[in-house]
Structure 1
Amino acid sequence: MIIGIGSDLCNIERIQASLDRFGDRFIQRVFTEIEHKKAEKRPFTRAGTYAKRFAAKEAFSKAVGTGFKAGVYMKDIGVVNMPSGAPTLHLSNGAKARLDALTPPGHAVDVHLTMTDDHPWAQAFVILYARPL
């Protein structure tokens, strides 16, 4: 059963402006080390890579119904890739606690994430699916 769904549309130029203005301070506050390494390997699409991940964090916060409050922080939501290459989310701290609180007893939650970008936009969708154990 679907227990949460969220989407977000992010302007890549806005992320580029934040990178230009705040640099590492912005990166360290918002993104995980894995996300940072991924983006820095892509010099021609660096801002788009960050923007997709920013959108994924926003989409997750909507899927769990809190936004960035109630202990859910951007840095606790990290985009990672499964062995197949498909993106998913690695959650920690308040983000993980919020998802655990939404998970029905006797279920596990699969996080489905899709991201795309077409300058100047980046977009992400998150579906939280509870499956019986």
Structure 2
Amino acid sequence: MIIGLGSDLCSIERIQASLDRFGARFEARVFTEVERAKAARRPFTRAGTYAKRFAAKEAFSKAVGTGFKRGVFMKDIGVVNLPSGAPTLALTGGAKARLDAMVPAGHAARVHLTMTDDHPWAQAFVIIEAVPLEQLCE
């Protein structure tokens, strides 16, 4: 069953402006080490890489219904890739605690993420699914 849905549209130029103005301070405050490493490998599309991840963080905060309040911080939401290459989220701190609190007993959360960009926009959608534990073993 779907227990959360969020989307976000982010301006790549706004992210570039933040990078230009605040540089490494902005990167360290908002993005995980994994996200910063990925962006560093993409010097020509660095702002777009960050903008997609920024949108994913915003979409997750909407999917859990808190925004960036009640202990949910941007840096606790990290975009990672599954072995298949599909993007998903690695959660820590308050973001993980909020997700865990939403999941009904006898279920596990599965986070679905899709991201895209087409200059000047980046977009992300997050769907949070609660899957019965017995279905995970099949």
For this structure pair, what is the TM-score category when the shorter chain's length is used for normalisation?
A: over 0.9
Asked if 1:41 corresponds to 2:41, the answer is yes
CA distance in 1, matches of 2:105, 2:48: 38
Instruction: Give the TM-score taking structure 2 as reference length.
Output: 0.96
RMSD: 0.2
Note the alpha carbon deviations across 1:10-29, whole angstroms, 9 max, x for none. Answer: 00000000000000000000
Once the two structures are superposed, the pairs formed by residues 53-132 of structure 1 within 5 Å of their partners are: 53-132=53-132
Residue 85 of structure 1: how far off its partner (Å): 0.3
For 1:51 and 1:40, the matched residues in 2 are separated by: 14
Gaps of 5+ in 1: none
Q: Secondary structure at 2:112's aligned position in 1?
A: strand
Could you list the per-position Cα deviations for residues 24-68 of structure 1 after superposition, in whole angstroms to 9, with x for gaps in the alignment? 000000000000000010011000000000000000000000000
Q: What SS is found at the alignment partner of 1:69?
A: coil
Give the partner amino acid of 2:107.
H
Corresponding position: 1:10 with 2:17: no
- Match of 2:114, SS state, is strand
Match status 1:19 vs 2:56: no
Confirm or deny that 1:32 pairs with 2:32: yes
Q: What is the total number of aligned residue pairs between the two structures?
A: 133
The residue identity in structure 2 corresponding to 1:130 is A
Which residue identity is paired with 2:70? Answer: A
Q: Which residue of 1 aligns with 2:51?
A: 51
Query: 1:75-95, CA deviations, whole angstroms, 9 ceiling, x for partnerless residues?
Result: 000000000000000000000
Alpha-carbon distance in 1 for matches of 2:10, 2:104: 31
Unaligned runs of at least 5 residues, structure 2: 134-138
What TM-score comes out, normalization by structure 1 length? 1.00
Identical amino acids, percent of aligned pairs: 82
Residue equivalent to 2:136: none
Q: How far did residue 131 of structure 1 move?
A: 0.6
